[in-house]
């Protein structure tokens, strides 16, 4: 214990020891200045300088971009930026997918195999026989398409009485359904709107591209609630029933269902009652 006490006393005494620092000009050996310091004061200067340096360093790391150099600290910010960039990439991928579906839907509509009407005056017995064969082939093709859609469920676009059924032979490629005024028209399945516009013949018309090359078309609406490129869910309101266009004689929905570019009978897949 006495040795430790002596060491402490010696250390305290050393702190009180005074030293003089003399600055001399080398050329003429004149004294430029002198400074009298104690060991205690030297230690105080060193500690103060170290503390100030530590405060400056911590401030730079905490409030400037230099904090990115710290292991772990910078990673957190980089992770947040990565997450933000990932969200942007996902949004761009979704927009690209919508555009692909939109383009595919337009291609399917443009390549649709609709029947062409022939004037009655030009039909001969031979040509009549040929038309019967063509209609039979079309019915056979439609039967094959129908079997491909048997496992799919479609939401009724509207509930009402059928005023005109599907008639491929007479170029009536859809089903006409009568419903009360201002009845909302619903999407039969999830998909992307590939057409939403007004035409003189069909009035306000909206078309939706669904999965498996299925397209649904809704004509003669009084108002359209969706625009091209919009995503829709099954059962979502997309239009209001109406009587627009020249090819109509009262408020109703003309509904068409196309598969692989070919029209099919909607009544085989949708229950309008």
pLDDT values of the chain reduced to their tens digit, one per residue, 273 residues:
556 666 666 767 776 777 777 888 778 778 777 777 777 777 888 889 999 999 998 887 777 776 666 665 555 555 667 778 878 888 788 777 777 766 666 666 555 544 433 333 333 333 333 333 344 455 555 555 566 677 788 999 999 999 999 998 899 999 999 999 889 999 999 999 999 999 998 999 999 999 888 999 999 999 999 999 999 999 999 999 999 988 877 889 999 999 988 899 999 999 998
- Neighbouring C-beta atoms of residue 27, cutoff 10 Å: 6
Task: Give the integer Cα–Cα distance in Å for 167 and 265.
Answer: 8
Are 35 and 29 in contact by the 8 Å Cβ rule? The answer is no
Of the options 3.40.50.720, 3.30.920.30, 2.70.70.10, 3.40.50.1820, the CATH number for the domain spanning 147-268: 2.70.70.10
Are 171 and 180 in contact by the 8 Å Cβ rule? The answer is no
Phi and psi (nearest 5°) for 240? Answer: -120, 135
Task: Give the integer Cα–Cα distance in Å for 272 and 179.
Answer: 10
Are 98 and 192 in contact by the 8 Å Cβ rule? The answer is yes
Are 73 and 57 in contact by the 8 Å Cβ rule? The answer is no
Task: Give the integer Cα–Cα distance in Å for 37 and 34.
Answer: 10
CATH 2.70.70.10 positions along the chain are 147-268
Task: Give the integer Cα–Cα distance in Å for 23 and 132.
Answer: 121
Burial 168-202 (b: 16+ CB within 10 A, else e): beeebbbbbbbbeeebbbbbbbebbbbbbeeeeeb
Q: How far is CA 240 from each of CA 119, 205, 219, 252, rounded to the nearest angstrom?
A: 35, 11, 10, 10
- Neighbouring C-beta atoms of residue 159, cutoff 10 Å: 13
Are 260 and 111 in contact by the 8 Å Cβ rule? The answer is no
pLDDT at position 144 is 57
Q: Is the pTM of this model over 0.75?
A: no
- Neighbouring C-beta atoms of residue 120, cutoff 10 Å: 6
pLDDT at position 83 is 76
């Amino acid at each position: 214990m006495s040795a430790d006490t002596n060491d402490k006393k010696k250390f305290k005494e050393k702190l009180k020891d005074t030293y003089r620092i003399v600055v001399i000009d080398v050329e003429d050996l004149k004294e430029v200045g002198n400074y009298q310091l104690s060991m205690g004061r030297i230690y105080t200067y060193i500690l103060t300088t170290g503390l100030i340096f530590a405060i400056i360093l911590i401030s730079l790391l905490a409030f400037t971009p230099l904090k990115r150099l710290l292991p772990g600290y910078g990673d957190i910010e980089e992770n947040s930026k990565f997450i933000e960039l990932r969200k942007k990439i996902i949004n761009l991928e979704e927009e690209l997918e919508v555009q692909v579906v939109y383009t595919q839907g337009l291609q399917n509509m443009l390549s649709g195999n609709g029947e062409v009407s022939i004037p009655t005056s030009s039909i001969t017995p031979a040509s009549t026989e040929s038309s019967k064969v063509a209609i039979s082939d079309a019915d056979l093709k439609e039967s094959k398409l129908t079997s491909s859609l048997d496992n799919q469920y479609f939401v009724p676009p509207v509930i009402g009485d059928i005023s005109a059924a599907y008639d491929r032979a007479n170029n009536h490629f859809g089903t006409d359904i009568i419903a009360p005024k201002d009845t909302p028209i619903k999407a039969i399945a999830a998909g992307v709107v590939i057409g939403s516009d007004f035409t003189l013949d069909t009035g306000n018309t909206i078309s939706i591209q669904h999965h498996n090359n299925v397209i649904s078309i809704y004509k003669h609406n009084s108002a359209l609630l969706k625009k091209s490129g919009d995503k829709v869910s099954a059962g979502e309101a997309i239009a209001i029933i109406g009587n627009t266009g020249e090819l109509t004689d009262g408020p109703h929905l003309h509904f068409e269902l196309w598969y692989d570019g070919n029209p099919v009978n909607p009544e085989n897949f949708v229950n309008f009652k």
